[in-house]
Amino acid sequence: MKTVTETFGSMVFDDRVMKATLSAKVYASLRHTIDEGASLDPGVADAVASAMRDWAVAKGATHFTHWFQPLTGITAEKHDSFIAPSPDGGVIMEFSGKELIKGEPDASSFPSGGLRATFEARGYTAWDPTSYAFIKGKTLCIPTAFCSYGGHALDKKTPLLRSMEALNRQALRVLRLFGNDTVKRVVSSVGPEQEYFLITKEMYDARPDLRFCGRTLFGSKPPKGQEMDDHYFGAIKPKVAAFMEELNEELWKLGIMAKTEHNEVAPAQHELAPIYTTTNLATDQNQLTMEMMQKVAARHGLGPDLLRLYQGQDALHPDGVLLLRGPCAG
């Protein structure tokens, strides 16, 4: 049985992997891009793509995808295999720097179908090197920004990256006014937490409001509101504990610092809180956390497959996981 330290980040192309698989020159150039926002050299991109492919294939990956966050509340991905034809009739595994840096998915249906003319249907995904690539299933997922043919942001990552850059620029300006010329970059950080409800699939199937609307529409309030001191911080039930244990393992593989778990105030309400990290990475990891919650919940008889993902409001997913208000400030 593997220990937590052996499991953690095992499916992430993180700094440890980059140091081990890239030459010192390529690694230094990539870190310069990540840390200071410098332009990425095409030769460096090719070297990184080659190392990333070899690492992913060794982990059992067969496809890669540009993983992005369109304005639909969920993540999106288009999978391409690594295979390319060889002269002898077989295949070889290829992944170039061009494929790593840029993708061209169909943008005609984002954020809503039919909004743009046919000639404007093309969209572009651009690699975000500040968020580590990871393996999900048998697919290498590369976090990317997503924009339209005309350069308009069609995702949630692009505005976030722009706001982080604006904050960095203005913070450096203030530091310079105070005579501090040594700081090169100011990075914001976030520690999101997830509050959620777990119910059985049978209970979910008995509620038309949950099945048709994805959230609670009727029901009576408890006698004391939500001040259920017999549940808050109480002993975690075995079925819930088994869900939390498997969820932690899945999150740790993806390098997500799942730290705290406990019963919340309301009956069947629970919380998961990670250790804070940079804003961009925390946002990507929060999306993965919600996805993993639903997949693991389904395996524990807590609901069917995901049909819709809500964020920013109280909403019960059709798989039996309720995420309250999206990510909450920890």
pLDDT of 223-259, one tens digit each? 655 555 667 788 888 998 999 999 999 999 999 999 9
Distance CA 112, CA 120 (A): 14
Instruction: Yes or no: say if 76 and 52 are a contact pair by the CB < 8 Å rule.
Output: no
Low-confidence residues of the chain, pLDDT below 70?
1, 111-120, 214, 218-230, 303-330
Distance CA 142, CA 175 (A): 34
Q: How many CA atoms lie within 13 A of 162 on its CB side?
A: 9
At 63-109, the pLDDT tens digits run 999 999 988 778 888 899 999 888 888 888 999 999 999 998 877 77
Distance CA 326, CA 101 (A): 30
> Could you tell me the pTM of the whole model?
0.83
Would you state the pLDDT for residue 233? 80
Instruction: Yes or no: say if 154 and 148 are a contact pair by the CB < 8 Å rule.
Output: yes
Would you state the pLDDT for residue 25? 95
Q: Could you write out the DSSP letters of every residue in 203-231? A: HHHT-HHHHHHSS----PPPTTTT--TTT
Instruction: Yes or no: say if 121 and 109 are a contact pair by the CB < 8 Å rule.
Output: no
Would you state the pLDDT for residue 312? 33
